[in-house]
Amino acid sequence: KQEVTQIPAALSVPEGENLVLNCSFTDSAIYNLQWFRQDPGKGLTSLLLIQSSQREQTSGRLNASLDKSSGRSTLYIAASQPGDSATYLCASSGGSYIPTFGRGTSLIVHP
Amino acid sequence: EPEVTQTPSHQVTQMGQEVILRCVPISNHLYFYWYRQILGQKVEFLVSFYNNEISEKSEIFDDQFSVERPDGSNFTLKIRSTKLEDSAMYFCASSGPGGGLETQYFGPGTRLLVL
């Protein structure tokens, strides 16, 4: 059974810092890995989707990488802003295409 | 930009009552999903739906749960006899023709409280 772990659980940084969120998964036989953002009491917003054949995806200040062999993905946020404050979830999809979610990293970017 | 919508945003019900949560997926999407998130816990998959039938379901999705696409736009989750432990945020999601290979777009959720 796939297990997804996210480290750190919480992170507080000053505005402008570059930061890395980590996600690890136990079963490397995945089809894709998706990063989401969740604001308090809200739904999930998809940030980046990396297919198993890809190594990374970029969108604006966000870059996500995938290393299937080591069971890891990272989300890199450049020049963080207070508006980036949210919980970031990663989810890996395996044989049935059903995503397994991690608990998330709660990020606070203070001015 | 197209989005998934859900109604109601909040629902309070008594234990043992039936509830129906409603979702309108993105119009040209073919795959539909329900997830739940108990407060402070991970998002958990419940069920996926394609071509008018369930394609996958988790062990959470027992006989108390059912899904339906009653018309061309709505997708519903019914809980027949609610339990206290059904209290959670329920999210609907949809994706395009590639199903699980494509990005899933989530609705804002329905917060269900069972008393």
pLDDT value of residue B73: 87
CA distance B78 to B72: 18
Q: Which of residues 82 through 111 in chain A touch B, CB cutoff 8 A?
A: 89, 91, 93, 96-104
- For B52, the token pair is 């008018």
CA distance A46 to A33: 11
Q: Is A56 exposed, middle or buried, given 0-12, 13-18 or 19+ CB atoms closer than 10 A?
A: middle
- For A93, the token pair is 């999809």
Give me the half-sphere count of Cα atoms (radius 13 Å) on the Cβ side of residue B22: 8
Best B34, B41, B45, B56 residue to mutate vs chain A (most A CBs within 10 Å): B45
pLDDT value of residue A40: 85
pLDDT value of residue A38: 94
In the numeric block, the tokens 């043992």 are attached to B16
* Beta-carbon contacts of residue B47 (< 8 Å; ≥ 6 apart): B33, B34, B54, B56, B57, B58, B61, B65, B67, B77
- For B23, the token pair is 């979702």
pLDDT value of residue A27: 85
pLDDT value of residue B96: 87
Is some CB atom of chain A closer than 8 A to the CB atom of B96? no
**Span A33-84, pLDDT tens digits:** 999 999 987 889 999 999 989 999 999 999 999 999 999 999 999 999 999 9
Query: pLDDT digit of tens for each residue in chain B (115 aa)?
Result: 789 999 999 999 999 999 999 999 999 899 999 999 999 899 999 999 998 899 999 999 999 999 999 887 899 999 999 999 999 999 999 998 877 778 889 999 999 999 9
pLDDT value of residue A22: 97
**What secondary structure letter does DSSP report for B96?**
-
- For A35, the token pair is 């990063």
* Beta-carbon contacts of residue B1 (< 8 Å; ≥ 6 apart): none
Put simply, the answer to whether A102 touches B42 (Cβ < 8 Å) is yes
CA distance A84 to A77: 9
Is some CB atom of chain B closer than 8 A to the CB atom of A36? yes
A42 CB neighbours in chain B (<8 A) are 108-109
Put simply, the answer to whether B101 touches A32 (Cβ < 8 Å) is yes
Is B47 within 8 Å of B54 (Cβ atoms)?
Answer: yes
In the numeric block, the tokens 């795959």 are attached to B31
SS3 B86: helix
Of B44, B48, B108, nearest to A43 by CB-CB distance is B108
Is some CB atom of chain A closer than 8 A to the CB atom of B104? yes
pLDDT value of residue A97: 73
Q: Is A1 exposed, middle or buried, given 0-12, 13-18 or 19+ CB atoms closer than 10 A?
A: exposed
pLDDT value of residue A92: 92
Put simply, the answer to whether A43 touches B109 (Cβ < 8 Å) is yes
